[in-house]
């Protein structure tokens, strides 16, 4: 396994875009062996029982936990076969997770099992909850009347971790040169032009955007922007098998804009948030961005924390407010 390649825009110190706001994520590229889901729910089979158009979908999925996404908390999202995610009420699709027009390839009727499939699972790994969605040997084709399974298939997964990290894991892909040109992307059958894959995430307000373009395996370009655009530069090379692209959630910057709540600088075994403080959830991070504690109580037990510096995030309808403290 090659060494972890970290494209670190934020770690102990935040990097600020031109609007002065701390970035919500940094990007990491890593190599991890790809494992297809063996314990899963087949969305393809579910859809086959409902409609003849089971090779496409748009469904709402529950995470099964509170998922911190930029400055809000999600319990579910709407996902489709184009690998785009939608948050109810948002003006645009804020998630483009290696997006293209993907469909299932089905050779037999009626459908008994699917090797080409949309699969998902709620599980727990090393004590951390995660929702995994897999595109298993799906077909790229703009024109549904001209399937080319013999010429292309893709396998990749999206991992949504309870600490807010979001991963795209790439399995094996097969495509003939007539459909793919490295550096340009994949061919659209109707126009004959080549287009990149979209790999970008945005917050609900669309004023914090992270776009990845170029080649994930060779110095990709990571762009932070405060304006949303549908004209993404995009991924122009198909990622190698076992490549993982991770949007790592950063703790928010502690600044003077946070409400004046009396959070102690030094903490022993408990943080007592004032009764008049209004918030929905709290999250405690270390300075590497690892989520350690979360909940809704105003009396936070910190006995499990080691001596050191931490960030307490309080999330409410107006956004995220952060406070730095030291466990002694």
Local confidence band at 210 (pLDDT 50, 70, 90 cut-offs): very high
Residue 53 lies in a domain: yes
Same domain, 193 and 317: no
Same domain, 145 and 292: no
| CA Rg value for the chain | 21
Same domain, 279 and 236: no
| The two structure tokens encoding residue 292 | 């350690």
Domain limit, last residue, from 222, 249, 276: 249
Same domain, 241 and 159: yes
Same domain, 185 and 288: no
124 Rama class: left (phi>0) / alpha (psi -120 to 50) / beta: beta
Same domain, 228 and 271: no
Domain limit, last residue, from 187, 222, 249: 249
| Cα separation, 224 vs 6, whole angstroms | 16
Q: What is the pLDDT of residue 20?
A: 37
The answer to whether 248 touches 27, Cβ cutoff 8 Å, is yes
Q: Which domain holds residue 282?
A: 266-327
The answer to whether 215 touches 28, Cβ cutoff 8 Å, is no
Same domain, 162 and 275: no
Residue 258 lies in a domain: no
**How many CB atoms sit inside 10 A of residue 74's CB?**
19
Residue 261 lies in a domain: no
Q: Please classify residue 270 by burial: count the beta carbons closer than 10 Å to its beta carbon, then call 0-12 exposed, 13-18 middle and 19+ buried.
A: exposed
The answer to whether 216 touches 7, Cβ cutoff 8 Å, is no
Minimum mean pLDDT among 23-37, 76-90, 141-155, 295-309: which range? 141-155
Local confidence band at 19 (pLDDT 50, 70, 90 cut-offs): very low
Q: What is the pLDDT of residues 172-185, one digit of tens each?
A: 999 888 889 999 99
Minimum mean pLDDT among 112-116, 188-192, 256-260, 264-268: which range? 256-260
| Cα separation, 244 vs 168, whole angstroms | 6
| Cα separation, 248 vs 244, whole angstroms | 12
Same domain, 87 and 160: yes
Q: What is the pLDDT of residues 283-308, one digit of tens each?
A: 888 876 677 888 889 999 999 999 98
Same domain, 272 and 241: no
DSSP, residue by residue, 114-125:
-SSEEEEEEEEE
Rounded to 10 degrees, what is the CA torsion of 305, 310, 316, 320? -150
Same domain, 59 and 89: yes
Q: What is the pLDDT of residue 5?
A: 41
| The two structure tokens encoding residue 320 | 């995220």
Residue 290 sits in a domain whose CATH number is 2.60.40
Average pLDDT for 236-242: 97
Q: What is the pLDDT of residue 140?
A: 85
Same domain, 161 and 281: no
Q: What is the pLDDT of residues 77-108, one digit of tens each?
A: 999 999 999 998 899 999 999 999 898 876 55
Residue 87 lies in a domain: yes
Minimum mean pLDDT among 68-72, 168-172, 187-191: which range? 187-191
Residue 257 lies in a domain: no
| Cα separation, 285 vs 273, whole angstroms | 17
Domain limit, last residue, from 249, 280, 312: 249
Residue 76 lies in a domain: yes
Same domain, 167 and 279: no
Q: How many domains does the chain have?
A: 2
Q: What is the pLDDT of residue 203?
A: 92
Q: What is the pLDDT of residue 120?
A: 97
276 Rama class: left (phi>0) / alpha (psi -120 to 50) / beta: alpha
């Amino acid at each position: 396994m090659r060494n972890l390649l970290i494209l670190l825009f934020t770690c102990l110190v935040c990097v600020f875009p031109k609007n002065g706001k701390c970035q919500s994520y940094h990007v990491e590229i890593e190599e991890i062996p790809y494992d297809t889901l063996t314990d899963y729910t087949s969305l393809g089979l579910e859809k086959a029982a409902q409609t003849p158009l089971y090779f496409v979908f748009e469904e709402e999925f529950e995470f099964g936990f509170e998922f911190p996404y930029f400055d809000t908390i999600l319990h579910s999202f709407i996902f489709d076969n184009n690998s785009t995610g939608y948050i109810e009420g948002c003006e645009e699709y804020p998630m483009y997770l290696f997006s293209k027009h993907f469909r299932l390839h089905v050779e037999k009727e009626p459908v008994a099992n699917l090797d080409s499939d949309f699969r998902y699972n709620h599980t727990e790994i090393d004590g951390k909850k995660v929702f995994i969605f897999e595109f298993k040997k799906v077909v790229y084709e703009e024109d549904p009347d001209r399937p080319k399974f013999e010429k292309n298939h893709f396998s990749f997964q999206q991992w949504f971790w309870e600490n807010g990290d979001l991963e795209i894991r790439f399995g094996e892909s097969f495509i003939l040169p007539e459909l793919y040109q490295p550096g340009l992307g994949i061919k659209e059958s109707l126009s004959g032009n080549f287009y990149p894959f979209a790999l970008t995430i945005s917050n609900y307000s669309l004023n914090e955007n992270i776009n990845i373009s170029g080649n994930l395996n060779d110095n990709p370009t990571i762009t932070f922007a405060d304006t949303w655009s549908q004209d993404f530069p995009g991924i122009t090379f198909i990622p190698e098998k076992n490549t993982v692209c991770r949007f790592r959630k950063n703790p928010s910057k502690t600044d003077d804009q946070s409400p004046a709540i009396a959070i102690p600088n030094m903490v022993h075994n408990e943080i007592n948030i004032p009764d008049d403080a209004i918030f929905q959830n709290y999250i405690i991070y270390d300075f590497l961005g690892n989520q350690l504690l979360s909940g809704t109580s105003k009396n936070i037990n910190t006995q499990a924390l080691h001596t050191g510096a931490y960030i307490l995030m309080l999330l409410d309808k107006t956004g995220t407010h952060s406070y730095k403290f030291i466990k002694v």
